């Protein structure tokens, strides 16, 4: 039997004594298309069914604003799930560590729309002043040592993560304001501006010390120095990636915390890299040394890594720590210099060799000139040479009259200039 529409309430169909079927067709303002309302209600009267129908129509025509308040910690969970799909594993881990260990313990319980710049500034100031407490194991129990301060760059890195997440939250949650605006960090100290790069003479002394004292690391360090490759790309190389006939290294993968992955757009690398005879000789000697050591330790060459660890697995940067510090001391280099500093050094050296900027970016994998400049350390001698070159192109006119030595010691002094302007 066909259900009949009630005459008093359009769009309301009676199914039995206390069950009604409501229907309606409404234009959804978000899409401009018709949206159908179709629902069965039980335990209601015809009047109540009609009221429910009118309510659903109004909600469709005028959708209510999202009023659910979201905490910073709740948004961070969904945000990281989305980011993990788009970032390489190393960057995602950096984001997660900053959130879990530093940002959320201080700000995670606050509702995002209630988070203020004062809250963010207070968190940053607290991190800088409180610092952290290191621990070391004693003979009987763990004893705490002196409290250490976080560096400005460390805290700035956490803040960048919060700022990136907040800008996404601005769009997702329709936040009324950005709580990361006008946040102040201490000015970077002069020590922070110290170049993480070596001069040509310093690099030569450092490589010689490595070759003499730690020959097992010499080939890897030389490859980093003469190619500018990132450690993650160099440490993932297999011997099959080296085409000795074509004198080319092919970069296919990266090593992040002992896991292989593909080269990403974020951290690019040249697909092919030329290997000159001097570097080829170093690599060949390294291969012979590995083959000889593999007689007693077959694991060294089992997986075909070009630069395996002592047990044949992928290497990590800290595997160079002991040799690195020792060779810096032997080369009489007292300034801060890291493994990644070899990439800065290479960028400087190819610029000093007058290599074209396009070729430099092709060698280093830098996409923009801005990033190329970031990795360049222009010294005073280069600046002086550049100014000298300009003077050669546009030599100044010779001085025809000696400068006056009266008054302030400057011909036409400040007082004279002021008088001329006043007149």
Question: Which DSSP string corresponds to 202-258?
Answer: HHHHHHHHHHHH-HHHHHHHHHHHHH---HHHHTT-BGGGEETTTTEEE--EEEETT
74-92: average pLDDT: 87
- Please tell me the predicted confidence (pLDDT) of residue 125: 93
Q: Count of CB atoms within 10 A of residue 133's CB?
A: 10
**Better pLDDT: 267 or 24:** 24
Residues 41-74, buried b or exposed e (16+ Cβ, 10 A)? beebeeeebbebbeebbeebeeeeeeeeebbbbe
Residue 63 has pLDDT above 80, yes or no: no
- Please tell me the predicted confidence (pLDDT) of residue 189: 60
Q: Structure pTM?
A: 0.57
Residue 354 has pLDDT above 90, yes or no: no
Residue 402 has pLDDT above 50, yes or no: no
- Please tell me the predicted confidence (pLDDT) of residue 412: 44
Placement of tokens 């190389």 in the chain: 237
- Please tell me the predicted confidence (pLDDT) of residue 317: 86
- Please tell me the predicted confidence (pLDDT) of residue 33: 85
132-155: average pLDDT: 68
Least confident of 164-173, 347-356, 377-386: 377-386
**What rounded mean pLDDT belongs to the chain?**
80
Residue 352 has pLDDT above 60, yes or no: yes
Residue 382 has pLDDT above 70, yes or no: no
Least confident of 45-54, 191-200, 369-378: 369-378
- Please tell me the predicted confidence (pLDDT) of residue 136: 55
- Please tell me the predicted confidence (pLDDT) of residue 392: 59
Residue 2 has pLDDT above 80, yes or no: no
Residues 98-117, buried b or exposed e (16+ Cβ, 10 A)? bbeebbbebbbeeebeebee
203-228: average pLDDT: 92
pLDDT-based confidence at residue 67 (cuts at 50, 70, 90): very low
Residue 283 has pLDDT above 70, yes or no: yes
pLDDT-based confidence at residue 381 (cuts at 50, 70, 90): low
Closest CA to 314 of 237, 242, 252, 240: 237
Residue 123 has pLDDT above 70, yes or no: yes
- Please tell me the predicted confidence (pLDDT) of residue 46: 87
pLDDT-based confidence at residue 74 (cuts at 50, 70, 90): very high
pLDDT-based confidence at residue 390 (cuts at 50, 70, 90): very low
Task: Give the whole-angstrom CA distance, residue 320 versus residue 339.
Answer: 8
Q: Which of 128-137, 171-180, 277-286, 321-330 has the highest mean pLDDT?
A: 321-330
Long-range contacts of 214-221 (CB under 8 A, 24+ apart): 214/323, 214/326, 214/327, 215/289, 216/289, 217/320, 217/323, 218/282, 218/286, 219/282, 219/283, 219/285, 219/286, 219/307, 220/307, 220/315, 220/320, 221/320, 221/342
């Amino acid at each position: 039997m066909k259900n009949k529409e009630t005459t008093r309430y359009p769009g309301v169909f009676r199914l039995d004594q206390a069950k009604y079927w409501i229907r309606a067709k409404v234009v959804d303002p978000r899409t401009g298309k018709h949206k159908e309302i179709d629902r069965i209600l039980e335990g209601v009267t015809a009047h109540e069914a009609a009221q429910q129908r009118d309510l659903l129509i109004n909600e469709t025509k005028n959708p209510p604003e999202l009023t659910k308040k979201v905490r910073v910690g709740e948004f961070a969970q969904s945000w990281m799930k989305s980011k993990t799909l788009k970032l390489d594993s190393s960057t995602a881990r950096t984001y997660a560590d900053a959130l879990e260990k530093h940002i959320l313990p201080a700000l995670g319980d606050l509702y995002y729309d209630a988070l203020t710049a004062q809250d963010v500034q207070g968190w940053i100031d607290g991190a800088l002043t409180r610092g952290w407490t290191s621990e070391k194991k004693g003979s009987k129990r763990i004893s705490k040592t002196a409290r250490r301060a976080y560096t400005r760059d460390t805290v700035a890195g956490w803040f960048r993560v919060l700022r990136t997440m907040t800008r996404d939250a601005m769009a997702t949650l329709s936040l009324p304001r950005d709580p990361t605006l006008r946040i102040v960090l201490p000015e970077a100290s002069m020590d922070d501006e110290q170049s993480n790069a070596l001069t040509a003479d310093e690099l030569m002394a450092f490589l010689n010390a490595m070759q003499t004292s730690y020959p097992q690391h010499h080939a890897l360090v030389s490859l980093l120095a003469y190619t500018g490759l990132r450690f993650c790309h160099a440490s993932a190389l297999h011997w099959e990636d080296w085409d000795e006939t074509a004198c080319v290294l092919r970069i296919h993968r990266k090593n992040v915390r002992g896991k292989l992955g593909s080269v990403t757009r974020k951290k690019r690398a040249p697909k092919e890299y030329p290997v000159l005879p001097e570097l080829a000789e170093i690599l060949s000697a390294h291969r012979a040394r590995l083959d000889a050591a593999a007689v007693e330790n077959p694991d060294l060459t089992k997986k075909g890594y070009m630069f395996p660890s002592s047990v044949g697995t992928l290497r990590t940067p800290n595997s160079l720590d002991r040799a690195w510090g020792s060779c810096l001391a032997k080369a009489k280099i007292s300034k801060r210099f890291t493994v990644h500093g070899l990439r800065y050094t290479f960028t400087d050296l190819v610029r000093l060799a007058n290599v074209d900027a396009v070729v430099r970016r092709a060698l280093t994998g830098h996409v923009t000139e801005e990033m190329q400049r970031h990795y360049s350390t222009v010294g005073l001698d280069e600046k002086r040479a550049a100014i000298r070159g300009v003077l050669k192109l546009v030599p100044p006119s010779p001085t025809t009259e000696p400068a006056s030595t009266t008054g302030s010691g400057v011909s036409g002094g400040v007082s004279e200039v002021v008088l001329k302007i006043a007149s």
